[in-house]
Chains A and B, each alone.
Chain A
């Protein structure tokens, strides 16, 4: 059983400080939804409101369509996995996992059986009688997941559960988590400040800044069509040009900068903004293109294996970056060469800064 979650204009104030500011999102049953944002933007606060440890100052939370106002955490069909896991160190692994069943009055034999099933589900056979301190980081992680799954929650809430793991294990656990979510069909709400993690695992991502939800969309859209400069910068690298918006037509506009005039996508209603182009959308040419090209001198060329990173400087001293895919046949350009950096108008966008409380 899984349930959807509706956050209906929720706000959370700590004194005068507004940690969460009118967040509005409907999460579907069985969805893998991530909140992505920098430290302190209010992600944990949102999870704590959903699980019932913090009350929203304004707005309504519905789980499975029902308003959960006034319900304590132990009455909600959610299970939270804490940033530090919060396993119980004085209980053996199987009792940790079966704790939720124990409080529901399930008898010991059934508990033990269920715990072993869950241990198998998370690939931890033969660990039932170990103590928490005997497990590695990744194993503890899995015990925490099993403990949360044991109560058959309709919604799993995960607060940066992989942040304490090393890179290799993190990547392994990403796939594992995703697989467990698919297998159980439980709604996962996942918190992270790692954009790679969010994009790779999620059905949809909500990007947050300073308590406000900036954009909710699928990972492809978040990366390719960010709605503002904050989202564009947070989920990847950009070349950012400042300038003024000129004439517009068909969702495109001209943009006058010190380096010349460019053309890029623009959304309706955007009257002020900067031009954003991702390095991998840049190309290097010997001759100037028809539009959107800048003469540059290459300053640094780094061969990274799967791509080539090229840093260049314009005549006016402005730094630009391009990432060229290494297809195994092209030549690697040399630092010091004069070339033209160009980009397709459809791969660049004129974006406002970000959605803040004042805007």
Chain B
């Protein structure tokens, strides 16, 4: 703070700090608190708001139960409330998206950080960035076109003789997963690239010199060193995927509902902001729990991610 005063003077410092505080408090924290509070109150006609019926309860949260449907995948078969099913599948497929982005990003980042020559790096990074110049909406639609039954992907696969009949890609959760991977893979690439780049080349050479085959070098040297990068990438991709509304809204098949769509349905179509808020907080809470558990399992500390 003293440094700031010395650098920018009193007035400017207070303005900066004040604006930041305003943004955080009034535009981020307060609305969230309002929603949190609303999530415990019933959805009432306007005349009853503040009246005797307006009491706090967990009723909104309990709405996730009810409306039992069949759960029939992964070799499992049981009855489950429809919304919980969507909720669980959303979390699960967000984890799948995270895993796939990691599998894609790992070799790419290793190539960029340790193999590619310094001269070709700017070009390669430009190639990675170019898709970001196109809006997410367009990119999602592009995938929709690619994946349709008579679309280019099927045409190509048929042409090279890999398949005999068109595959129905837009079914279940695969289109959402594919498009989310495409949309968020860079959020994995950048932290992972940064982590790998800070690895001393001599470590790789030392490991090889001691007789390690390439996979052992990755398992014992590169992967442990990259762990903080993987962790921050994974948290971002997971949170963004689970919270994404745009991608599932554009590309979803009828058999692959995303939980954000459920929330949107309740809030926008049902006009029940109270229940919507309750569901949104459940998603947030559960994602946070999932991330915390994952960090425990992989022994990552919060301070590693912040680096």
Q: Hey, which bits of chain A sit against chain B, CB under 8 A?
A: 51, 53, 72-74, 78-80, 82, 84, 86-88, 90-91, 99-100, 102-104, 147-148, 150-151
Contact = CB atoms under 8 A, between A and B. Distances in A.
B205 A73 contact: yes
B225 interface: yes
A274 B227 CA distance: 61
Contacts of A51: 209
Nearest to B207: A99
- Tell me which of B203, B208, B209, B212 has the highest count of chain A C-beta atoms within 10 A of its own C-beta: B209
B202 A84 contact: yes
B229 to A, nearest CB: 14
Contacts of A84: 200, 202
Contacts of B208: 72-74
Interface in B117-148: none
15 contacts: A51-B209, A72-B208, A74-B208, A74-B209, A74-B213, A80-B205, A80-B206, A80-B209, A90-B225, A99-B220, A100-B211, A103-B211, A150-B210, A151-B210, A151-B211
B205 A82 contact: yes
Interface residues of B, number: 17
B221 A88 contact: yes
A86 B203 CA distance: 5
The 7 A-B pairs of least Cβ separation, nearest first, read A86-B202, A100-B210, A86-B206, A103-B212, A74-B211, A73-B209, A82-B202
A82 B209 CA distance: 10
B209 A78 contact: yes
A78 B211 CA distance: 10
A72 B209 CA distance: 9
Interface of B: 200, 202-203, 205-213, 216, 220-221, 224-225
Given A90-B225, A99-B220, A103-B216, A147 B202 contact: no
A188 to B, nearest CB: 16
B218 to A, nearest CB: 12
Contacts of B220: 88, 91, 99, 102
Contacts of A80: 205-206, 209
Contacts of B206: 80, 82, 86-88
A104 B209 contact: no
Contact of B210 (A53, A72, A90, A99): A99
Contacts of A53: 205, 209
Nearest to A48: B205
B209 A103 contact: no
A51 B207 CA distance: 12
A79 B209 contact: yes
Nearest to A95: B220
Contact of A103 (B202, B205, B210, B224): B210
Contacts of A74: 208-213
B142 to A, nearest CB: 41
Given A90-B224, A90-B225, A79 B202 contact: no
Nearest to A82: B202
Nearest to B205: A53
A293 B207 CA distance: 60
Contacts of A148: 210
A355 B107 CA distance: 47
